[in-house]
Amino acid sequence: MYIVHSTFLVPVEKVDEVISIYTTRSKMVDQYDGFLGFQLLQNEVKKGELTVQIKWKTKQDYVNWVTSDAYKKVHELEKNYPDQELASIKPIVQRYEVVAE
């Protein structure tokens, strides 16, 4: 299994807005081969720290997604958020290979 985390810091007063964006997400990624799951995680102590976690069967499945036209389309939509402060936030991306369960 391959897991990707994209962590970003959001002003606390905008956390609910970001959560709403993700609860109404396009779900394009869900249709991709190898997709296993999506979660939006909120740091228990630092409420403005949010992490998107996506699980894949394999690293190649993830690579296929990030090189797809659908991925580009989803990320182009992010640039058009009405709130330009949110649109300018750059996540820290971490990738993990599951080596034991």
Tokens representing residue 98 in the block = 């599951």
Architecture of domain 2-97: 2-Layer Sandwich (3.30)
Cβ count within 10 A of residue 52: 18
Query: With 90 as the cut, is the pLDDT of residue 26 above it?
Result: no
Enumerate the domain spans of the chain.
Answer: 2-97
The model's pTM = 0.86
Q: What percent of the chain has pLDDT over 90?
A: 67
Residue 79 is predicted with a pLDDT of 61
Residue 78 is predicted with a pLDDT of 65
Taking only the tens place, the pLDDT of each residue in 46-87 is 999 999 999 999 999 999 999 999 888 887 766 666 666 776
Residue 8 near residue 90 (C-beta atoms within 8 A): yes
